[in-house]
Amino acid sequence: MTRQDYDGKTCTSPAHLASIAAVPTHAVFSLRAARMGLRPLLLRGFIMSDLEKANTPRLKLKRMKGPLRRHLAHGWLRAICSEPQRDGSPGGDESSSPPRQELVLPGPGPGSTTSECFDSLMAAIQDAASSGLYKLSFVIDETHRVDADARHGMLKKRQLDDARIAKIMGGKDRPLRPDRSNDLLRTIGIMNADGTISAKNAKKYKQVNHLVALCRPSWERALRNRPESEGPLRVLDLGCGNSTLGFVLCEALRLAKIDYRLHGIDVREELIESCIGRAKQLSDDFSSFSVERIQNGNEAAHRHLGGTPDLVVALHACDTATDEALALAIRAGVQSIFCVPCCQAELAAQWTESARDESSADGMTFPALVQHGLFRRAYADLLTDALRVEVLEACGYTVQVVEFVAHEHTAKNILLRAHLARGPQAPDLARIEAIRSRCQALAINPALLRILAAHLA
Ligand SMILES: C[S@@+](CC[C@H](N)C(=O)[O-])C[C@H]1O[C@@H](n2cnc3c(N)ncnc32)[C@H](O)[C@@H]1O
């Protein structure tokens, strides 16, 4: 018997061929028939020399061409060709499977289109479908799309109607509606190109809306305490990463019809490049980004925002970068601070260092708190944030400590929301001194006090 290669594997018999999961049944019949010297008419396309083809379903693009042309007669935004859902993941356990391959073909936009444009779309989807991207979606506008499958050529109209929107929003009136904020939701990776939101991203969708709700009091405070003549609200995002928070915030401000400018800084060049790319994708002319250290953030704000920021946001800025952000805001007299601290290694490390010195725990009411690693880290976390709150208060801020997201999502779930109730004030040095002496008793020297040493002298 002739050995044949099928999909990179060498087949020695029909049974072997059948055992290769992806091979369609008709290919196996074809191999059996070929061994018997037969070439049945129905199976001619699948004789052994052509087995490679057997794994590719016949495309029915011709069938859908006419109806599709009618659906797209008034233009379309984009077409998406993607892999079908993989076996074994109905609805998709997306966290464990690799991302589905997808090709997004930009459309001519709304309005009339030409037959050349439609023909080149058909040619492009023919190519995509031939390489396995059978699932097709044609986004006509933000609420209408047509879905198809290149393997059967049937079209299905889909509409993002009120019922569907209410379902996505979980029955609540959320600020970032899927029909209104779709550009943002797609850019930050929550919405798919075809306008759907996967089960995994539905959770993220709720989280970013929750974030807007949490941040609203911060920008409202900042706006309340500044004269209108000051111009747009100045927002500085410190340690912005890829600025998901920044873009979400911009969208919320835009929806609230608030004139704003946002500047994001981060030390990582590639992240800043990605932020600039995202801003371009969103045609957002009110956000800017630069590679900068947080400690230079106020100078960057003056350069890019035209003055001291009204609102500083710092979301999960690593370890003492959070202290740099708070110190910057305190020194500059920033009206409103929205800060979610990150991991806090500093105090625990100071205790580990001083643990060699037996007398270091003398000032501790409960020395076990620093003697055991688990306690030490949890205690250091809480103490770091408690100290931040005390220092902010001593510098004239009113501080709220709020749960950021439920504890099961992340341990870094404390939000410090602070504002200057009566405008910038000189720090209360007696209060700062009391904080310092308590720190001494606990054998710690927190970053925030060190960074602000000159300001608090
Ligand atoms: C955990 S990420 C959070 C990013 C973003 N804020 C978010 O929540 O998605 C922390 C970011 O802070 C940046 N960072 C840390 N220390 C910094 C510093 N001293 N100056 C500027 N950026 C800093 C890191 O590069 C990183 O992108």
Average pLDDT, the chain: 84
What does the pLDDT read at residue 359? 56
Residue 56 CA from chain centroid, whole number: 35
Whether 177 is covered by a domain: the verdict is no
Q: How many angstroms does the Cα of residue 265 sit away from the middle of ligand 1? A: 8
Whether 189 is covered by a domain: the verdict is no
pLDDT band at 59 (very low <50, low <70, confident <90, very high): confident
The response to whether residue 245 sits with its C-beta less than 6 Å from ligand 1 reads yes
Assess whether pLDDT exceeds 60 at residue 275. Answer: yes
Whether 417 is covered by a domain: the verdict is yes
Is the same domain home to 34 and 133? no
Whether 216 is covered by a domain: the verdict is yes
Is the same domain home to 328 and 306? yes
Assess whether pLDDT exceeds 90 at residue 310. Answer: yes
Q: How many angstroms does the Cα of residue 263 sit away from the middle of ligand 1? A: 14
Name the percent of the chain lying above pLDDT 70: 81
Which residues make Cβ contacts (< 8 Å) with residue 294, sequence separation at least 6? Answer: 238, 239, 265, 314, 317, 321, 324, 325, 328
The response to whether residue 323 sits with its C-beta less than 6 Å from ligand 1 reads no
Whether 401 is covered by a domain: the verdict is yes
pLDDT band at 357 (very low <50, low <70, confident <90, very high): low
Using DSSP bridges, classify how beta strands 75-82 and 4-6 pair: parallel, antiparallel or unpaired.
unpaired
Q: How many angstroms does the Cα of residue 240 sit away from the middle of ligand 1? A: 6
3-state helix, strand, coil in the chain (%, to 5): 45, 20, 35
Mean pLDDT over 310-326 rounds to: 94
φ/ψ (deg, to 5) at 179: -90, -15
Residue 44 belongs to domain spanning = 4-54
Is the same domain home to 8 and 75? no
pLDDT band at 345 (very low <50, low <70, confident <90, very high): confident
Is the same domain home to 364 and 390? yes
Is the same domain home to 62 and 81? yes
Q: How many angstroms does the Cα of residue 316 sit away from the middle of ligand 1? A: 7
Cβ neighbour number for residue 6 with a 10 Å cutoff: 19
Number of domains in the chain: 3
Nearest atom within ligand 1 for CA of residue 244: 9
Which residues make Cβ contacts (< 8 Å) with residue 259, sequence separation at least 6? Answer: 231, 232, 233
Distance CA(390)–CA(438), nearest Å, equals 12
Whether 183 is covered by a domain: the verdict is no
Mutation pick for ligand 1 pocket among 316, 324, 339 (CB with most ligand atoms within 8 Å): 316
Assess whether pLDDT exceeds 70 at residue 1. Answer: no
What does the pLDDT read at residue 91? 43
Is the same domain home to 143 and 234? no
Residue 277 CA from chain centroid, whole number: 14
Is the same domain home to 227 and 375? yes
User: For the domain that residue 386 is a member of, what is the CATH number?
Assistant: 3.40.50.150
Is the same domain home to 39 and 62? no
Residue 374 CA from chain centroid, whole number: 31
Q: How many angstroms does the Cα of residue 144 sit away from the middle of ligand 1? A: 38
Mutation pick for ligand 1 pocket among 278, 318, 405 (CB with most ligand atoms within 8 Å): 318
Mean pLDDT over 172-201 rounds to: 91
Say how many CA atoms lie within 13 Å of 305 toward its Cβ. Answer: 30
| Nearest-5° Cα angle at 29, 26 to 34 | 125
Whether 395 is covered by a domain: the verdict is yes
Is the same domain home to 35 and 145? no
Assess whether pLDDT exceeds 90 at residue 44. Answer: no
What does the pLDDT read at residue 26? 44
Is the same domain home to 376 and 250? yes
**pTM recorded for the entire structure:** 0.78
* pLDDT tens-place string over residues 119-150: 999 999 999 998 899 999 999 998 999 999 99
Is the same domain home to 211 and 64? no
Is the same domain home to 50 and 64? no
Whether 181 is covered by a domain: the verdict is no
Distance CA(371)–CA(356), nearest Å, equals 11
Q: What sign has the CA pseudo-torsion 303, 309, 314, 315?
A: negative
